[in-house]
Each structure stands twice: as structure tokens, then as C-alpha cells.
Structure 1
Amino acid sequence: MLPLPSAQQLRYLIALSELRHFGRAAAACAVTQSTLSAGIMALERQLDAQLLDRTVGKKVVFTPLGHEIAQKGRQALEALEAVPQLAAAARTPLTGPMRIGIIPTIGPFLIEPLVKIIRARFPQIVLSLTEDTTEHLLEKLSLGRLDMLVLAMPCLCDGTETLPLWRDPFQVIMPDNHPLGKLAHVPVERLEDQQMVMMEDGHCLREQTLAVCRQGRSWDSSDGEGDSTFTATSLHTMVDMVELGLGIGVVPSLAIENGLLENHNVKARPLSGGPVWRTIGLAWRPRSPRSADFQTLAKAFDTLAPTAQATRVADSSL
């Protein structure tokens, strides 16, 4: 019988295939870079096959065979990890460890009620939470380091199963004396030529804000990002910048209804004139043995929707 790769060797190979960087792949696997490199070299010797092209310098380039083996390895590892998960889920649903990732524009406003509802309704779940950007959370999900994500959609969630929960309308925030504050609703067309404060690159809210702004003006790829010159690392920093008169911002109602603007001379107005919302939803790996658990959690999380303006999503459309 041919010697089989170990689960750890497959994890190293898959992480490197996903991240294309030895340091990041090692960090994702919680090992040193030398350990990961040695593990992959041992796998190559065991298979008597070259998986990486080492003639291209420091770049991580897989050989065609290496790429194919990494794909097969992912399928094999997912099947292997599903065995104990299936047994545990069959014995007692909604028990044991559950690792949930959540993005920074949702986390500060949902973590507390989310934890409370899990503790109250599903006390056998051992919960852990990770806050990070969508891209990084999806990486951790694909590597098996997280079980489920709480995201804002639309997002680039290829390779996951998603379940939309409710719509979270966008609002415009501005200094108290801003002319747009005289309007009951701000049409997206009025965002044209406004100085915008946006989240920094890597946050899905930035792309969602740009998509809203594009509804009100004719942008093409050469237009870049309009007049935005101020970027924030968090919604709270964005509010500070808006209060200083550096521009106006687009923020979700979820944040406003949970006190984002308290103690600031900033006002909010609803947006109108197009799809001016994001959708809060869940994501997990396809064919996860805990899909039924995630569906049950989704019904519980639905009660966390902001009561004033959120619209629940009844089907899979966003």
C-alpha cells in the first residue's frame, strides 16, 4: 500500500496553496515557517513528486501536479474532518466548540447580543469569536480555522454556502450644519461631488459604499474613487472625521441604532434612490456536517435585526 499523506501535511499544502506565502501559511497553521517548509518537503519526498517550482526565486509557484494534489488534498481533508463532526452532530446537535468569525463593521454592534442569545438558547455550545476583515475570515474558513462567518453581503464569498438574514439600510452621516441635513432622505445622486470619508481598503463596507455612490454618477474604471481622500480604520474613526468636517460618510443603520453617533455633533439621514442597503448573513463551508446547526442559529440570529428599518430576507436573494 502506498504511504498516505498525513492530515497535517495536507493542511500545510492547502494553506500554502491558498495564501501563496510561506510566512502567512505558517501563521495560519500555527507553526513556524521552517516547520511548514520541512513538512512540504517531506511530503514531496514521500510522494516522489515536485509540488513547488523552486526555480522562480522567492515566489510561491505550484507545479501543475502540485496544484492538482493541493485540490485533491483539500477534498480529502474536508472528508476526513467531517467524520468526527458528523458523529458529534448526530449525537447531540448544537454542542461543543463553535468558532465564529465576524467583520469589524458588524462585530461591535452584534457581538454582545449574539453571545447572549447563544448562551441563553444553546448553553452547550463552546463559543469562540474572531473579528477580522471579510477576506481574512474567508481564508480562515477555507483552512478550517473557523466554522461559520457573520458577513455583510454582497461579498466575494465564492466557495461558501451563504444564508442571508436581513437587510441593513445605509444612511448618510454629516456634520450638524451640513446642507444635506435639511433633507428627510438623501438621494444617491446628491452624493456626487461630495467629499467622502470611507473605510480603508480591505473592508467590504468600502466597496459597498463605492457601489452606492456609483448609482448616482457615471463612473468607469478610469474614475478611480472619486473625491475620497480620507479613510478610516473603523466606523468610530469615520464618525470623528465627519464631525471634524472632513467629509460625509455612508454607514449602516445597525451601527447608528446601536449608538455610533452618541456624543457627536453628527446627524444621519436615510439614503434613497436605489439599492441602498447591505445584507447581513451567514457563511460556512459547503457540505459542512454542521449545516443543520447553522440553520438553527440563523433563526435565532434573525431576532437581532434592527427593529426600525431592517427588512428580513425571506429567500436566498440579496
Structure 2
Amino acid sequence: MDLRYLDALAAVATHGRFSAAARALHTVQSNVSSHVAKLEDELGALLVDRAMGSLTPEGEVVLARIKRINGEIAAMRADVASMTSHVTGDVHLGIIGTPGRWLLPPFLDELRRLHPDVTATIVDSTTLALIRLLEGGELDLAVVNAPVDHEELVATPLFEEEFVVIAPSTHPLASHGDREVSFNELEHHPLLLGPSGSAMRGRIDAAAARHRVTLSTMAQLDGIRLTATLAFQGYGPAIVPITSIPEWTERGDWSVLTVSGLPPRQVALAIRQRGMLSAPATAAREVLRHVIRIVATRTHGVVPV
């Protein structure tokens, strides 16, 4: 199968029209049309709906494979270049928001120091979104909440982080200032929590169930920093990782409560099971682990694994 056929389909998917795809590929429209038609003949399926200018369901399946193939080709080039000289190339790293705030500055500095010819592209998003990007080949590796239950991905632990409750000072939970609360006490108050089905929410609900408690929500938010911000602003109490409280934040009109019997949040590094990490991605992984061992030891509530 000619790689030009795959590039033509990917360009049509990105730009929506054969003419625009041709301009992006610096060729003529007839070449793009011919390449897509030949790919359709080889696969025995219609890949582009010409009337709508969009991919068919079969085309979407092929496009997902094309992204992975292109990723492997880029990795192969980077690997060969790294064998003949120093590590060079691109790495795409996804990271959830709260670790990104304290982990990215030293990581990027150390990566630049050790591998100046590696270019890092960082994607800040939720665990669910990062897993989709990693699965589709748009990321090389991702720092996500554990556990990761996905047959095509493997995750190794990075660190654990304490959960806390941020309670506005006007809320009954904050009546005695910073202290420890039980699940039985939390049961009586609607909370700001992550969405059902997420790894972090599952960990919290499982701990509550062990205490025969079902927590109620005033809102489910798929974003830890947003959840913490609403608690800071007085909207309601939230269960969040302790690093949701930035070190530079002056103590506001809220209390920080620990929860008895709530295990720590677990954060892991996820990669695809199939295929090899490129040399730049491997270098980034080693730098990331090194930085975590150093920085986590001086970050309150965080323990490297």
C-alpha cells in the first residue's frame, strides 16, 4: 500500500475538500482524488462521502490506523537519527491539570538541558480525554489518574497524592477550621465531585462504600482545577487532590480538611501496549520519572512510587 494514499485520505479528513487537501499536500486535486480512489479499491470500501465532504464510518476506522502508522514512521526516523547521534525529534505528552502545574516547569527544564534537540508538545486535559488521544496515536505518553482500564494501554505508577476537602468558611464543615472529617460526616453534605465512572471518583466512592456511606453531589465536574476553584470561591465543599491548592495561593476564606479512611489518589504514566516508544518519548519518560523523584519529595502530600 502506497503511503501517499494514506496521506491523501488524512488530508481530506483534515481539510474537508479534495481541493484544500491538494493545496495542503502541495499537489493537484486529481492526484488526491486518484490516491483516495486507489486506497478505496485496495480496501474494497467507500472511504469518503463525496457529496458531504466527510469520511464514511469505514473511512474513520482507516483514519485512526493512519494516525498510528504515521506516528510509528515518525518514531522510526527519530530512533534511527538517535542511534547515529544524540536524541532528536518530537514527543507529545499529555498531562492532567494539577500535576502539570508543579511538574511541567522542572520537567521541561531538565528535558531541555539533557536533550536540547527534543521538542515537547504538551496537552493539558482530563484523564478521559487524554486516554482517547493516546489510543488514537495523537500522544506518545500521558500522565493520568489511575487505575487505567483499557486493553490497548498500559500504565505504570508515578506517585500518590493525598485527597483533601476544601470547604468554604461559611459551610458547616469548616466550622472548626482545618481538621479531619469522617465519611459519616461528609454524608450529610452535598459535595463537588468528579464525574461518575472516572478513576478518581471511583476511588472516592469505593472508600465511602467501605464506610457504608453514599456521598451526594451538588455538581459533578470533569476538571479538578475547576472543582477546586468553585470551592475557593465559596460555591461548596469539594474533594480534590492536595496539589489543587497552589503553593503561591494565599490562604483564603476556606478550610482544608483531611478525610479519615480515604486512600490517596494514584497517578500513572500511560502508553500504548503495541509498538515501541520513540527515542524522544523514551527520553521524556526517563526525565519525567527522574524529576518526580526529586520534586515530589518536597511537594506536600505527594509520595513518589
TM-score (normalised: structure 2): 0.72
Q: Which string of whole-angstrom CA distances, capped at 9 and with x for unpartnered residues, describes residues 6-35 of structure 1?
A: 26627957x9xxxxxx9xxx4xxxx22335
Q: 1:157 to 1:88 in 2, by over 3 A?
A: farther
Q: 1:180 to 1:145 in 2, by over 3 A?
A: same
Question: Does residue 304 of structure 1 match 2:295?
Answer: yes
Partner residue, 2:252: 264
Q: Which runs of 5+ in 1 are unaligned?
A: 16-21, 220-225, 314-318
Which of 145, 148, 153 is the aligned partner of 2:141? 148
Contact 1:185–1:269 (Cα < 8 Å) also in 2:
yes
Distance 1:160 1:310 in 2: 25
Counterpart secondary structure, 1:128: strand
Counterpart secondary structure, 1:106: helix
Q: Which string of whole-angstrom CA distances, capped at 9 and with x for unpartnered residues, describes residues 221-241 of structure 1?
A: xxxxx5313345654543443
Distance 1:289 1:10 in 2: 21
Percent same amino acid among aligned pairs? 20
Contact 1:89–1:289 (Cα < 8 Å) also in 2:
no
Structure 1 residue 272: Cα displacement: 2.5
Partner residue, 1:316: none
Partner residue, 1:85: 78
Q: Which amino acid aligns with 2:303?
A: T
Counterpart secondary structure, 1:141: helix
Distance 1:178 1:91 in 2: 62
Question: Does residue 47 of structure 1 match 2:42?
Answer: yes
Question: Does residue 191 of structure 1 match 2:174?
Answer: no
Partner residue, 1:251: 240
Structure 1 residue 110: Cα displacement: 2.7
Distance 1:201 1:250 in 2: 14
Partner residue, 2:266: 279
Q: 1:115 to 1:162 in 2, by over 3 A?
A: same
Q: Which amino acid aligns with 1:251?
A: V
Question: Does residue 33 of structure 1 match 2:16?
Answer: yes
Distance 2:268 2:8 in 1: 28
Structure 1 residue 252: Cα displacement: 0.8
Q: 1:39 to 1:140 in 2, by over 3 A?
A: farther
Q: 1:87 to 1:41 in 2, by over 3 A?
A: closer
Counterpart secondary structure, 1:288: coil
Distance 1:11 1:148 in 2: 27
Partner residue, 1:122: 115
Distance 1:258 1:231 in 2: 25
Q: Which amino acid aligns with 2:6?
A: Q
Contact 2:68–2:136 (Cα < 8 Å) also in 1:
no
Contact 2:148–2:155 (Cα < 8 Å) also in 1:
no
Q: 1:234 to 1:169 in 2, by over 3 A?
A: same
Which of 107, 127, 131 is the aligned partner of 1:134? 127
Q: Which string of whole-angstrom CA distances, capped at 9 and with x for unpartnered residues, describes residues 44-82 of structure 1?
A: 53316026698xx9996449xx96x78986776565444
Which of 222, 226, 230 is the aligned partner of 2:219? 230
Q: 1:70 to 1:98 in 2, by over 3 A?
A: closer
Partner residue, 1:19: none
Partner residue, 1:18: none
Distance 1:84 1:42 in 2: 29
Q: Which amino acid aligns with 1:253?
A: I
Counterpart secondary structure, 2:217: coil
Structure 1 residue 151: Cα displacement: 1.8
TM-score (normalised: structure 1): 0.69
Counterpart secondary structure, 2:258: strand
Distance 1:293 1:238 in 2: 33
Q: 1:128 to 1:277 in 2, by over 3 A?
A: same
Distance 2:245 2:9 in 1: 42
Distance 2:85 2:154 in 1: 23
Q: 1:218 to 1:52 in 2, by over 3 A?
A: farther
